[in-house]
Chain A
Amino acid sequence: MSEFLDVFRRPDFIPLLVTHIELSVVALLLGVLIALPVALAVNRSPTLSAIAINIGNIGRAVPSLALLALAFPLLGFGFATSLVALTALAIPPILINASTGLRQVSPQVMDAAKGMGLSGAQILGRIQVPIAAPIIFAGIRTSAVQVVASATLATFVGGGALGQLIVLGFQRNQPAIQIAGALAVAVLAIITELLFGFLERAFTPKGLRVARKRRGK
């Protein structure tokens, strides 16, 4: 047990944890910054939306390890390689959810908004985005959890992060290090899930929460 706790006192634990978080946060942020504008831009065109959703679905089918393997020959070892691969991993769920969410707003609501004189941008900002917010946040949450879990693999391309502990424990045949590393990743993933779950609820407009509760009855 003390052997196990010692892992968390290793001088490299905190830096690895920090790298893991850094990598995840930056990748997620980039993913949001790329996927959301694309979803907003294609929203007006059914064809472009369908294309975006399909690209998202294909992207989702590519395993994270394959993404790393693809990025490695292009960018070599290091943080950047991991970041690119993780960003690519973060994009699809956000892109899919945002594109479908924005288009799922009922045609009657869209018609009423247009008929009352809201401009295209106003309809998007005041009607579509708030109504799609829970779906968009659900996509971001999925991305975040995936990125946190997959950042573990960054160690294979020299990206550091908590995966390094797992590999280290394996190489030295010290299961305690291995388990501690895995545990840290798991806890991080759970915290991410909870945090984004909270954000998702916080950003769900009250009217939609009320509607959901009513439907549930």
Chain B
Amino acid sequence: MIEFRGVSKTYPGSARPVVKDLSFEVLDGEICVLVGPSGCGKTTSMRMINRLIEPSSGEILIDGEPNTAMSGTKLRRKIGYAIQQIGLFPHRSIADNIATVPQLLDWDKARIKGRVDELLELVGLDPGVYRDRYPAELSGGQQQRVGVARALAADPPIMLMDEPFGAVDPINRSRLQDEFLRIQEEIRKTIVFVTHDIDEAIKMGDRIAILKEGGVLAQYDTPEEILTNPTSDFVTSFVGADRILKRLSLTRVSEMELEPANGSGEGLPTLSDRLTVRDALSALMGAGVGRGVVEGEGGRRLLTMEAIEGLTRGARA
């Protein structure tokens, strides 16, 4: 668990803090996304966790211990670190790039080699093909994967990722995001993920910390809560006018509690329960009806407008 306790940061020579009295907790195994407009202090907040930046006041605890309990370099070897610009070492092979931290930790050669191949597999790069290549021989998306593999190398319980998919085109970004979520299912790391893109935050985050100008925490909650119950005008406008639709994209029809259709489904459109509620709503509206029949593992069930509205109940429209 990572715990921010009243953390503030004022850069030398600057009058105003860029992070102000930040307090929140990142739970084990969760992805916590820091999101907010440019310059609101996301990167600064993240870099204070592994002490690339020291806070001006307050403290950050990792598993109950202040992160100042050990030296900065020792701390950083225990925390995975991946950044938008990737920063692969151009003179080192892909294998050596990934092996950076294991080498620092003096793992034996066989163990390092095994780990490198395992990680290349994990991020979807064939070890036989890519192990001995150099960064310049990889596409941007492939380098991004290697950056993630490198951050994971010594199996750190915590990962810091600063706009890790920021430099890739939207199609590849979406693929990398999906892949990363699949990997996270397996590895269950505690992740602090920085982005300025609210859609990425909603997709990636188990919990989202929305920061506003001046590094003030505007809201810290699950994506569902932030979309249905934004606590301030700032959050409302930051998440966008389509927040209710975004909320509906977060749930699949199969996850809803619906009445069995029994005989009443006659003449209604049939939908797959794999659809997101948003897509199902779109289909219903397209068909010009207020109800539809969902087919899936739960048998034939009835999807109604009321059931959809139930999902966003409490929303101040």
Contacts and interface: CB of A to CB of B under 8 A. Distances in A.
Interface residues of B, number: 30
Interface stretch (B82-90, B219-227, B246-254, B284-292): B82-90
Interface string B142-166: 0000010011000000001000000
Interface in A20-50: none
A112 interface: yes
Interface in A96-110: 106, 108-110
Contacts of A187: none
A201 interface: no
Contact of B74 (A106, A113, A117, A122): A117
B73 A117 contact: yes
A118 B136 CA distance: 22
Contact of A210 (B78, B88, B136): B136
Interface string B68-85: 000001111110010101
Nearest to B87: A112
Contact of B87 (A109, A117, A211): A109
Given A115-B83, A116-B81, A214 B89 contact: no
Nearest to A122: B104
Given A117-B101, A118-B73, A122-B104, A111 B136 contact: no
Nearest to A134: B91
Contacts of B52: 111, 114-115
Contacts of B101: 116-117
Contacts of A116: 76-77, 81, 100-101, 104, 150-151
A117 B77 contact: yes
A205 interface: yes
Q: Which of A116, A206, A207, A210 has the most C-beta atoms of chain B within 10 angstroms of its own C-beta?
A: A116
A54 interface: no
Contacts of B83: 108, 111-112, 115
B92 interface: yes
Contacts of A189: none
Contacts of A206: 91, 134
A114 B75 CA distance: 11
B76 A117 contact: yes
Contacts of A109: 87-90
Contacts of A131: 89-91
A39 to B, nearest CB: 18
Interface in B92-135: 92-93, 100-101, 104, 134-135
A108 B81 CA distance: 12
A121 to B, nearest CB: 10
A119 interface: yes
Contacts of A215: 136
Nearest to A213: B136
B70 to A, nearest CB: 11
A175 interface: no
Interface string A153-195: 0000000000000000000000000000000000000000000
A197 interface: no
A112 B101 CA distance: 11
Contacts of A127: 89
A211 B133 CA distance: 11
A208 interface: yes
A201 B77 CA distance: 33
Contacts of A210: 134, 136-137
B50 interface: yes
A206 B52 CA distance: 30
A66 B73 CA distance: 49
Contacts of A211: 90, 134-136
Interface in B268-303: none
B86 A207 contact: no
Nearest to A119: B73
A207 B87 contact: no
Contacts of A115: 50, 52, 76, 81, 83, 160
Contacts of B76: 114-117
Q: Which of B90, B91, B92 has the most C-beta atoms of chain A within 10 angstroms of its own C-beta?
A: B91
Given A111-B83, A116-B76, A207-B91, 6 more contacts: A110-B87, A116-B104, A117-B78, A118-B73, A119-B73, A207-B135
12 contacts: A106-B87, A108-B85, A115-B83, A116-B101, A117-B76, A117-B78, A118-B73, A118-B104, A207-B89, A207-B93, A207-B134, A208-B90
